[in-house]
Amino acid sequence: MDARTDAAPPVTGSAPPGARPLTTEPKAAAGRRQKLFTWLGLGIAAAAAAWGAYWVLVASHHVDTDNAYVQADTAQVTPLVSAAILSAPAGDTQVVKKGDVLVTLDPTDARIALAQAQADLAQAERRVQGYFATNDAQAANTAARGADIVRAQAQVESAKADFERARTDLTRRQNLAASGAVSGDELTAAQNRFDQARAALASAQAAVAQAQANRAAAVGQQRVAAAMVAGSTVASNPEVAAARAKVDAAQLDLDRTVIRAPIDGVVAKNTAEVGQRVQAGAPLMSIVPVQHAYVDANFKEVQLKHVRVGQPAVLTSDLYGGGVKFHGVVTGVAGGTGSAFAIIPAQNATGNWIKVVQRLPVRIALDPAELAKHPLRVGLSMKVDIDTNR
């Protein structure tokens, strides 16, 4: 057999009847790819447009951060008097109400001080009553000294009359003695009576001066006595008021031996132990008012352009997860960044300065009803979203 008869027919550009051309399949695939890219481009454009609309209408009016933590105005419990602890019924994590007994101190010293102050008050009242009695006595004494002056003046007038009578009698006898009508003894007796009358007048005048001096002394003593009681009663006298203030202070110290909760909250950082002697001002525990907790959200400075007081916020906590939403209101923005109030503030004027984006605390008040339903604790992490468009 001839080898050429078994060889394959030569390949020509024509295809058998009913067969597809070799170049048709690549063209169809190219068309499908083109349509796919077209739809993909349209999808991306639609997504970009949707995102742009969302950003313009919604996202651009919201700022959020997860650098936020629960805070509360914690009340620190400190004794106001020094004494030993008799009992400490409140323990850590215990929920207390305002007025509940937290610590009881030994009241012995305070009771003794109160008894001493009460005794001093009683003495002061009696002493002031004596002041009033002295004032009345001095007033009566002044009146008596005035009467002494009147009596002494009357004695002066009587002495003057005696003196004039004795002088007239002496003058008459002296005139008669020259004619021998009056004896020497009679003249001498008249002279003696005159001398006695003159001495009596001088004595009466001296008694008036003494009575006036005594009255002046009595008036001075009355003024001193009146000054001790002027414008007051026994109850309102300064000495009694001072003694009563000491009684009140002693009573207050006694009352302070029972330390009560200043607010509602949860006990934390309790260090009170029975038998321990505490000093005034030493911290014993803290009361955390979890029912009045708030959130300090530390936003970047570039996020705060449109943040204002009164704007609403939605918060979630790591404790409850995203299923529990808290609603709050912006109540204030801090007066400075955390670095500005640090113990060692940043020295940004140095040569190796590197700019760091700062954060500023924003305070957010929470809804009390939501806090009661889902309690939070100080220090828990929160996520905050503020609507700056409202």
| Each residue's pLDDT tens digit, 182-239 | 677 777 887 888 888 888 888 888 888 888 888 888 888 888 878 777 888 888 888 8
Which among 72, 77, 118 has a CA at the least distance from the CA of 98? 77
Contacts of 381 (CB under 8 A, 6+ apart): 66, 68, 69, 317, 318
State both tokens at 232: 């007051």
* One-letter amino acid for residue 7 of the chain: A
| Each residue's pLDDT tens digit, 145-187 | 788 788 888 888 888 888 888 888 878 777 777 676 667 777 7
State both tokens at 187: 């003249």
Report the percent of the chain where pLDDT is more than 70.
90
Sorted by where each starts, the structural domains of the chain and their CATH numbers stand as: 63-73+288-342+355-387 (2.40.30.170), 75-107+256-286 (2.40.50.100), 110-252 (1.10.287.620)
For the beta carbon of residue 185, count every other beta carbon within 10 angstroms: 8
Q: Which residues pair with 87 in a beta bridge?
A: 104
Q: Would you state the pLDDT for residue 16? A: 52
| pLDDT greater than 90 at residue 71 | yes
* One-letter amino acid for residue 59 of the chain: A
Which among 71, 76, 95 has a CA at the least distance from the CA of 365? 71
Contacts of 20 (CB under 8 A, 6+ apart): none
CB-count burial class (<10 Å; 0-12, 13-18, 19+) for 256: middle
| pLDDT greater than 90 at residue 60 | no
Q: What is the mean pLDDT of the chain?
A: 85
